[in-house]
Structure 1
Amino acid sequence: MAAGRTLKELADYLGGTVAGDEGKTVIGVASLDDATVDQVTFLANPKYASKVATTGAGAVVLPPGADRHGRNAIVVANPYLAFAKMLTLFHVAPRPSRGIMEGARIGDGVTVGADATIYPGATIGAGVTLGDRVTIHPGAVVYEEVSVGDDVTIHANVVVYQGCRIGNRVTIHAGTVIGSDGFGYAPDGEGYYKIPQLGIVSIEDDVEIGANTTIDRAALTATVIGRGTKIDNLVQIAHNCVIGQNCTIVSQVGISGSTRLGNRVTLAGQVGVAGHLSIGDNVMVGAKSGIPGNIPSGSLVSGIPAFSHREWLRSMAVVPKLPDLKKTVAALEKKVAELEARLASE
């Protein structure tokens, strides 16, 4: 069972203030619907504000100005961030180091930092450097000369190809492939000649990469994933791409080769990006959009091909009316033809 915390302790931890009983103790976090009197819940979406009155929680984390309905509350600027921090505090226990376990395969010249865990079935190639508190799960394969920083977790069946670099506090989820060859071929008559892919993938600090994602190595230099970027499951990032800092790339996005994303770019699910493009800082791209050209910083776009999100919304409002509009235009065309025929006969 998690250790109890008073609301005052939680408020100090979250950078908030208490409204109600500061000495009230809670031992965990739950949703507005499911929380009990010894748990704390949160309100991040105003859509659910009415549930604050009926929740069984012992306390609610609220934004400033929200109605607490007489309940104990912790008031913070960002309740959703507070929720994440409380989950970490109450429910995420640190895993003890287990060292290099029997059944792990370690190549020649491997350097392993302090408090690492390498599970049975993991394979570490020659010349690999692993930092402190690295965890490598069963079935993961780290090719030769890879560099891995501190506090990195590599989950089951991840493959990291030769020479790639992984920074500190990186998490790579199961089945992901880092550093496979980029899709590069030169036409050779009726066939194709493979262009050797001699570069690497460089993943900077505080990146998280979802399951079954693929990031291709560069032809000559590096495919780069910038600090703090979060990548969902089932994403493809092609060779020579440079992804900026603190980007969010959602499931089933595909980014073609040599494209550059600025900082804090958001690509929603199933966005497709053509190659050799530049997308500026703070760009947001709506789901299922197609990006055929450069996008300036600060843009909000949607559609295939993508254009202003506001104009796309207006366009989509017209689409359900197109069958009726077609009938109207056909009727008008018929009337015009009748008028023209009448005028011609006079």
Structure 2
Amino acid sequence: MKLTAHEIATVVEGTLHGSPDILITGAAGLSEAAASDISFLGNSKYLEQLSKTAAGVVLVPASIEEPDRPVIKVKNPQFAFAKILHIIEQEQNPAEKSGIHSTAIVSSTASIGPDVVIGPYAVIEDGVAIGARTKVSAHCFIGRATRIGDDCFLYPRVTVRNNISIGSRVIIHPGVVIGADGFGFVPGATGHFKIPQIGTVEIGDDVEIGANTTIDRATTDKTRIGKGTKIDNLVMIAHNVQVGEHCFICAQAGIAGSTKIGNFVTMAGQAGITGHATVGDGATLAAKSGVIGNVAPKEVVSGYPARPHREALKIQALLHRLPEIYERIKKLTKE
């Protein structure tokens, strides 16, 4: 990337304070940036670093007082920085020539859209439909009658089993498995009888799924992931789960079967939800929350079992005082 400060200000729709001719060729954090880098101030707690950074230009909030250095004032510095990173990413990863690699196995009944890339040793089974400009990387497996939309990117070793529906502009990272059997068994006197999992999985548009995440197929009907939802690495989503639109599900979270999650819900790292629960729109589940019941819309819960966050904090504060309280009670009983 080679952009002047003026050109960057135009891209991010910001106001430049400083020389328009500063040449920027890279991007970095405030503490790591060099004179040829652009950086950003996304949190006021890093304000001290603004005066110390070597960055050529810094993206700052529009409300900040003008510092004695080149800056571009914008509404959202992190979003503006992401726009610049997108330019760098496109340069680092130029579009591949479309086509099917000679080692890929593609069924004659598969429908492959225009400008699709299918990498080495990928397997595309009967009746699969792949939309325009989608890339299926090396060693991916796409099962029978699965449908994938336009402009998707499947990184190497993604497994998508049969009869799955994936929308457009979906990004799926390495090792993801979509459509494995749900964990369903009927206990019996002589063992556990496997319940056939004949349902499917439906992934909405603009979803991103992190590495080694698993999304199980429904017993019947569908496991659904709503449009715009972002799923981190190592997440487990069980059969018949319904995840709403624009949710954040962070690493190592787990959602048991038939749970319903609303829109704009955040699940922090290692949060877990029991089966058949309902989580309302806009709720937040703090890290390591153990949800064993329903969560109301916009409620923030934490702890195990998960309870309203303020209540959980009070309990934690009391637990820290438990040794002291115990000693006082022991002393009183002796008296």
Q: Taking structure 2 as the reference length, what is the TM-score of the superposition?
A: 0.96
CA positional deviation for 1:318: 2.4
Q: Counterparts of 1:298-309 in structure 2 under 5 Å?
A: 298-309=298-309
Which range moved further: 30-39 or 289-298?
Answer: 30-39
Which SS does the other structure have where 2:150 is aligned? Answer: coil
Runs of at least 5 residues in structure 2 that lack an aligned partner in the other structure: none
For 2:300, give the aligned amino acid. Answer: L
Q: Deviations over 1:174-213 (max 9, x none)?
A: 1110000111122333422221111111000000101111
Structure 1 stretches of 4+ with a deviation exceeding 6 A read none
> 1:97 maps to which residue?
97
Are residue 20 (structure 1) and residue 18 (structure 2) matched? yes
How far residue 67 of structure 1 moved from its aligned partner, in angstroms, is 4.3
Task: Within 5 Å, give how 1:1-346 maps onto structure 2.
Answer: 2=1, 4-93=2-91, 94-335=94-335
Using the TM superposition, name which of 252-261 and 321-330 deviates more. 321-330
Q: Give how far 1:96 is off.
A: 2.3
Give the letter aligned to residue 120 of structure 1.
P
Q: How far off is 1:68 after superposition?
A: 4.7
Partner of 1:342: none
User: Per the alignment, do residues 223 and 204 of structure 1 end up closer, same or farther by CA in structure 2, a change over 3 Å counting?
Assistant: same
Residue 230 of structure 1 deviates from its aligned partner by: 0.6
- Letter aligned with residue 40 of structure 2: F
Q: Residues 291-334 of structure 1: CA distance to partner in whole angstroms, max 9, x if unpaired?
A: 01111101011010111111212222222221111111111122
- Note if contact 1:28-1:91 (Cα within 8 Å) is conserved in structure 2: no
SS of residue paired to 1:75: strand
2:10 maps to amino acid:
D
* Offset from partner CA, 1:88-141 (integer Å, 9 cap, x none): 113333322231011011113111111111111111111110111111111111
- 2:220 is paired with a residue whose SS is coil
Instruction: Deviation per CA, 1:251-289: give whole Å up to 9, x if none.
Output: 111100000100010001111100111100000011111
Return the alpha-carbon distance in structure 1 between the equivalents of residues 139 and 287 of structure 2: 34
Distance 2:140 2:89 in 1: 26
Relative to structure 2, which stretch is displaced further, 118-127 or 307-316?
A: 307-316
Long gaps (5+) in structure 1: 336-346
Give me the TM-score of the superposition, normalised by structure 1. Answer: 0.93
Aligned-partner Cα distance in 2 for 1:58–1:67: 18
Counterpart residue type for residue 89 of structure 2: H
Give, in whole Å, the separation in 1 of the partners of 2:74 and 2:332: 60
Q: Which of these two proteins has the greater Rg computed from alpha carbons?
A: 1
Which residue identity lines up with residue 30 of structure 1 in the other structure? Answer: A
1:54-99 CA-to-partner distances (Å, cap 9, x unmatched) read 1111111011233453111111121111121110113333322231
Whether contact under 8 Å (1:62, 1:68) holds in the other structure is no
Query: Identity of aligned pairs, percent?
Result: 43
Q: How many residues align?
A: 333
**RMSD of aligned C-alpha atoms?**
1.3
Secondary structure of 1:202's aligned partner = strand
Equivalents in 2 of 1:30, 1:190: separation in Å?
61
Report the counterpart of residue 339 of structure 1 in structure 2. none
